[in-house]
Chains A and B, each alone.
Chain A
């Protein structure tokens, strides 16, 4: 696909949501209130695993100001088992499956009264054995989370907590290892980490006894919220109008519901609007972190650096309910490389921890950490340049990927060459400093979208999309609309419509929105342009086919079209009331061909040998994004992913005590990197156009979190001369290794 010339794409207009956000005017999940509103609080299990013998709510109900109390008994069973798991994660039924699992909820006239009421609820538990470690949970005889959900075709050597098994690959790995000059096999462990979004889950629910209602919430997908809540509450989706608030971060963590069905049920029971806002402690204990992992990675390499075989065995821990995410790790593990012999296997395992949910490129960072660490170790052992080795083995167009399909046009080689040529790679390294390199990959997705575009009589354009803007999509969508229509960016305003305003749209995830909503926007613009050309033809009294759209104007085309001056969008729109009524365009679809994405990260870091503290000195990230619509947002995505990956590598972890309780449910003890911890992340945009998008776009939001874990680990190994095989590499662990 040849590179196109654009007028608007690739520029950096002022972000449309900026003023509201810096002035505090933007409305987030907790900012909405209603007349007569109640406040809700949730009682949570103090036990990792316990049978709920009884719940006595009578004293709580009798407390003045309390308007409704609910437990799991207030929710009817639902047919779809995945929805049932979601419901039972929102409110336990029969058993508490992890520390923090919701047991009961109260709505009262104040938060203080609701909190007091929680203390009056008497719960009798029978404590059960628990398990929080993935390898222990897989052992036969481990405490069982759910009966009858073990993955099909698995033997007795693994427990019933093993709910998924996947394998991918091709060739003969044993033959490949036999050909290698060097084979290294290592076992790795990574901790569960949280997305660390700044805004906790929050909502305002208003549901009447007639099953009609409205919900305001912070989410990555308000249609998903509507459909999940409607199913759980037994109401029609059409009767629940869900509005997505501005979002204070999601990163995959807001792709399901945790509190919304609870707030709706309390509202229905009390007949009043109910606001429910999670505390930070609740966010850690009862929303979805990512999986922790235990992995074995074996790679064989020739003296020339050619990888002869790779084998990964991934065991992911995903919390208290069935899930299926290890497959993404197994598919991603070796995706960067063109391998003749490769196999990756993965097991999904349940434990007594909160149910996992997506976290930016879910499943990929830990698998790639293992693979990229072993490749680095092989490079060191064979005395080879780590970028040259990666270039030698890099996947390219036509490569049969480790997960099956052959790649179309991709940009890994371009990213590696850019990294090799960058001044960062050749800069001298001071003492106690190491330089880490790692590659990463993510799929990117398409999916269902709806866009509605209205041409206003003053020549401006309103566009409604159905995907919450979590990374600048209102800007990128407006820019693509402006490019397609041929009008200035400033004349377009894109908003995220509620579920009653525009058609269904899938969740904002999978780095899909700029790609998929972009295609829908371009198609909506094409529909509007057809109508604009038709109106111009009517005014000129010529045939519709004799009008073309060039640079935002209708122009006669062809020998017999006549000689008319170009008519602008604004001129045509101004008379639309007299030429047939409002002019609009819309598009609904499910675009695919999203185009995969690769990144290469370079990090210089210093390890203090006395404290084990690692400080990042320099960081450069190279990523193929197809076409950067708004480069500043793209750089922000790359920087954000890198920072989250650095936190995962160095500090972040869910720490459980022997009692199965989370020990660090707060930002004081769960340390995420902040601006003062880091240098500026230098983002280098590589543009290898995606042939599946009219403008060459591929998703850019997730790939950047994949390489940092290994890049930092490889840097630490070089800095201290000892390799750690467990994340996070927090100061005590580094000191121990030294």
Chain B
């Protein structure tokens, strides 16, 4: 089970839940599971999010593998200059 951390302001869409365990092997599966549990997250997820898996940041990569003991931090979609 991956350990998922929800960044601060997203918690208003997860009933205040900040950390949870999700059984998912890819980023897409994880996001789908998150939206299924917290429908209010769908707008944010559809707009795009970044995920940090064990400290590495991924932008909108659906099929990045997630290990059974991974820590996944859900963050807003980041942009640069």
Residues of A whose CB lies within 8 Å of any CB of B are: 152-153, 165-169, 251-252, 255, 324-325, 327-328, 331, 343, 345, 358-362, 403-408, 442-447, 509-512, 590, 592-594, 692, 702
By the criterion CB–CB under 8 Å, are A331 and B12 in contact? no
Interchain Cβ contacts under 8 Å between A and B, 19 examples: A153-B13, A166-B7, A168-B7, A324-B79, A327-B76, A328-B79, A343-B8, A358-B81, A359-B81, A360-B81, A403-B75, A405-B52, A408-B55, A442-B80, A509-B80, A510-B81, A593-B57, A702-B80, A702-B81
By the criterion CB–CB under 8 Å, are A252 and B57 in contact? no
With a CB–CB cut-off of 8 A, which chain A residues contact B57?
Answer: 405, 443, 445, 592-594
By the criterion CB–CB under 8 Å, are B80 and A362 in contact? yes
> Given A327-B76, A404-B5, A702-B81 in contact, is the A445-B59 Cβ separation under 8 Å?
yes
State the CA gap A594–B52 with chains docked (Å). 12
- B34-81: which residues lie under 8 A (CB-CB) from chain A? 43, 52, 54-59, 61, 64, 71, 73, 75-76, 78-81
By the criterion CB–CB under 8 Å, are A404 and B78 in contact? no
Residues of B whose CB lies within 8 Å of any CB of A are: 5, 7-9, 12-13, 43, 52, 54-59, 61, 64, 71, 73, 75-76, 78-81
With a CB–CB cut-off of 8 A, which chain B residues contact A167?
Answer: 7-9
> Given A408-B55, A445-B59, A592-B57 in contact, is the A165-B78 Cβ separation under 8 Å?
no
> How many whole Å from A334's CB to the nearest CB in chain B?
13
With a CB–CB cut-off of 8 A, which chain B residues contact A252?
Answer: 80-81
Interface of A is mostly: loop
User: Within the complex, which residue of B9, B61, B75, B79 is in contact with A509, where a contact is CB–CB below 8 Å?
Assistant: B79
With a CB–CB cut-off of 8 A, which chain A residues contact B54?
Answer: 406
With a CB–CB cut-off of 8 A, which chain B residues contact A594?
Answer: 57
By the criterion CB–CB under 8 Å, are B56 and A692 in contact? yes
State the CA gap A362–B9 with chains docked (Å). 20
Chain B CB within 10 Å, residue with most, of A404, A406, A510: A404
By the criterion CB–CB under 8 Å, are A403 and B7 in contact? yes
User: Within the complex, which residue of A153, A166, A444, A510 is in contact with B79, where a contact is CB–CB below 8 Å?
Assistant: A510
By the criterion CB–CB under 8 Å, are A445 and B80 in contact? yes
Chain A CB within 10 Å, residue with most, of B13, B59, B61, B71: B59
> Given A153-B12, A168-B8, A590-B61 in contact, is the A406-B80 Cβ separation under 8 Å?
no
> How many whole Å from B17's CB to the nearest CB in chain A?
15
Give B11's nearest chain A residue, CB to CB: A167
Chain B CB within 10 Å, residue with most, of A251, A360, A406, A408: A406
> How many whole Å from B10's CB to the nearest CB in chain A?
9
> How many whole Å from B28's CB to the nearest CB in chain A?
14
